[in-house]
Amino acid sequence: MKANLQNSTDFILLGLITHPAFPGLVFAVVFSIFLVAVTANVVMILLIRMDSRLHTPMYFLLSQLSIMDTVYICITVPKMLQDLLSKEKIISFLGCALQIFLYLTLIGGEFFLLGLMAYDRYVAVCKPLRYPLLMNRRICLFMVVGSWVGGSLDGFMLTPFTMSFPYCRSREINHFFCEIPAVLKLSCVDTSLYETLMYACCVLMLLIPISIISVSYTRILLTVHRMNSAEGRRKAFATCSSHIAVVSIFYGAAFYTNVLPHSYHTPEKDKVVSAFYTILTPMLNPLIYSLRNKDVATALRKVLGRCPSSQRRRVVDLSRKY
């Protein structure tokens, strides 16, 4: 098969674990995480849409984060699960390019969206009287569209360049999906200049939202410090704590991948970190917001409470008929 692939444009994905001793166990664990992640994010989207109390800018932005996470995990994990059950772990050249483009678009979009969500919290805590004006529906839509467009620009810039290099070495990508650094290792030309430019691009994309987050939370902390009411402080911290937790997890992994020098990277470490933010983070985000957010938890209990009551009504109606 390797001989055939030398003359082919297809690649082989070696997977998260190159030669797993128990592929069935790895499949079960990854599939469980995937199922929980997709279910939790879809439930979050539906809750925000169904409950009128969640029709606010904060939850509108949160629903977009859940949409991104759902698409994000569906880009890599289904292929990874398929490869765990298959001997031929092949991905086509076009499939690899599509994975890179969607991955860059969504991770870039999430960078910007998390930064804008920090701005939303800043306005809510520091300028509550102007919040309806500064975070109206038009501005919220502009933020969301801007996040998607900003992320897609990264995808449109880097994907064509990455796939234009000649790949004449082994076609085996030491990864579970087509991540650019792992793909570039197969190129038979020097890619150091491109990698330097890509590094600068990624750092810039990180600096913009990190600057917004840093300034927003600095202003929030100063405002909270001046508050005389203990209840006001508690509410301010409660409304920001979930976002801070998500930002810390996501940007921590992104910092390792995009900012740390190559000397700190090994294929094994890169795969573990990639698995963390492509598989675990989409599962953790909705769980953090649902467990730490009283409004979401209340909406979930309300929906769950409707199910038994609706069933009881049907039983009563049927008993009356017969």
Q: Is the pLDDT of residue 7 over 60?
A: no
- Give residue 291's pLDDT band: very low, low, confident or very high (50, 70, 90): low
CB 207 within 8 A of CB 110: no
- 316 assigned to some structural domain: no
- 163 assigned to some structural domain: yes
Lowest mean pLDDT among 49-53, 78-82, 119-123, 147-151: 49-53
Range(s) of the domain holding residue 50: 11-298
- 164 assigned to some structural domain: yes
Q: What is the mean pLDDT of residues 180-192?
A: 90
- In percent, the amount of the chain with pLDDT more than 90 equals 41
- 111 assigned to some structural domain: yes
Indicate the average pLDDT of the chain.
Answer: 84
Q: What pLDDT does residue 34 have?
A: 95
Q: Is the pLDDT of residue 28 over 80?
A: yes
Q: What is the mean pLDDT of residues 2-15?
A: 70
Q: What is the mean pLDDT of residues 40-60?
A: 90
Q: What pairing do the DSSP bridges indicate for beta strands 90-91 and 11-13?
A: antiparallel
Q: What is the mean pLDDT of residues 42-59?
A: 90
Q: Is the pLDDT of residue 268 over 80?
A: yes
Question: For the whole model, what pTM was predicted?
Answer: 0.86
- 88 assigned to some structural domain: yes
CB 167 within 8 A of CB 184: no
Highest mean pLDDT among 114-123, 293-302, 308-317: 114-123
Q: Is the pLDDT of residue 285 over 70?
A: yes
Q: What pLDDT does residue 3 have?
A: 47
Chain centroid to CA 157: how far? 20
- 6 assigned to some structural domain: no
Q: Quote the CA–CA distance of 285 and 280 in Å, as a whole number.
A: 9
CATH number at residue 272: 1.20.1070.10
- 199 assigned to some structural domain: yes
Tally of domains in the chain: 1
**Could you tell me which of 111, 6, 131 has the C-alpha nearest to residue 65?**
111
- 213 assigned to some structural domain: yes
Neighbours of 180 (CB within 10 A): 20
